[in-house]
Amino acid sequence: MSTLSRLSHTLRRELFSGFASDTPGTWLYFRGVELFLLTYTVYFCWDWGVYIQQNISSVLLPLGLANYIDVSFMFGHNVALINAVLVGVLGLVGFFRLWRPAYLLALLAFHLQYVARYSLGEISHGSNLVGMGILGLGIALWAFRSEERRRRFTFGFLYFFIGLGYTSAAVCKLIGTGITWPDGRHLLMWIAERKVDTLSRFGAFDPSVLQEMVLHDYHFGTLFLLVGLLTEAISFLMWWRKLRYVVVLLVVGMHIGILLTMNIFFHASTYLLLLLGLPWHHIIDYVLDRVRTPVPSA
């Protein structure tokens, strides 16, 4: 067996052989993650829909589907709000297993809402992991009839593409800027930009402890950026179950660092990582067993 074949076999086992036990904790955990993804999908669609109706009248930067179809029809007659309702309905249909293609169609409508919302030149990264989660659920619901296989595929899909995405981000930083990317002066400049944004919005800027450290000595910024870059670079290690929870929690820590140094919080991504960063199914089963176990009388 070639090295590539062995790696493929190992990854298939590491990513898709877990979550096979049909315990109450596993069932509740999977349905909870599914509900989380559905809730955030609907939230984003309504948030974008209201913004589209109030602020957008033309496409300046075509993204995704907008490169192939004219999405200007989304800008009037409350079409974006109707699309948000459609996403919610399709999400419920998928959640209650009423129609297998429902999640994939919800993803298509979700993407349409995304490209309409960010057609002015601004690009958001906060909803990407949610979209990937809906894609994983959509493929699982359409391709498999067994709930066990759907569950195993969805979690494996999430860990694979989240790990790949963060590691790719580290590679892209090095390609775009080179080995000087983790230069503390870059972070110093970004903090200054956030300071201007915050002052213009709120009239005051109260730096965090980490920001004060960088403003005092940019070498702290170099340290923070280097830790963040290394965390992104090793994110693919979450593909292996023995390292998974440690690596995912390191990525959560990186997001907290982004919040404390740049006042940017990717709430959907961070909360999803927290859901994936601990063995919640085992914790739920343990709690349920403790509740069901009678307390011995004195």
Amino acid (one-letter) located at 181: W
Inside any domain, residue 127:
yes
Q: What's the confidence (pLDDT) of residue 179?
A: 94
Inside any domain, residue 24:
yes
Inside any domain, residue 240:
yes
Amino acid (one-letter) located at 148: E
pTM: 0.94
List of residues 6+ apart from 95 with CB closer than 8 A: 34, 35, 38
Q: What is the 3-state secondary structure (H, E, C) of 154-214?
A: HHHHHHHHHHHHHHHHHHHHHHHHCCCCCCHHHHHHHHHHHHHHHHHHHCCCCCCHHHHHH
Inside any domain, residue 154:
yes
Inside any domain, residue 185:
no
Domain that includes residue 65, residue range: 3-178+234-292
Inside any domain, residue 130:
yes
pLDDT in single tens digits along all 298 residues of the chain = 688 899 899 999 999 988 888 899 999 999 999 999 999 999 999 999 999 999 999 999 899 999 999 999 999 999 999 999 999 999 999 999 999 999 999 999 999 999 999 999 878 888 999 999 999 999 999 999 999 999 999 999 999 999 999 999 999 999 999 999 999 999 999 999 888 888 888 888 889 999 999 999 999 999 999 999 999 999 999 999 999 999 999 999 999 999 999 989 999 999 999 999 999 999 999 999 999 877 565 5
Inside any domain, residue 261:
yes
Inside any domain, residue 221:
no
Q: Which residue in 94, 89, 82, 85 sits closest to 133, CA to CA?
A: 94
Q: DSSP string spanning 204-256?
A: -----HHHHHHHH-HHHHHHHHHHHHHHHHTGGGGGSHHHHHHHHHHHHHHHH
Q: What's the confidence (pLDDT) of residue 271?
A: 98
Q: Domain count for the chain, please give it.
A: 1
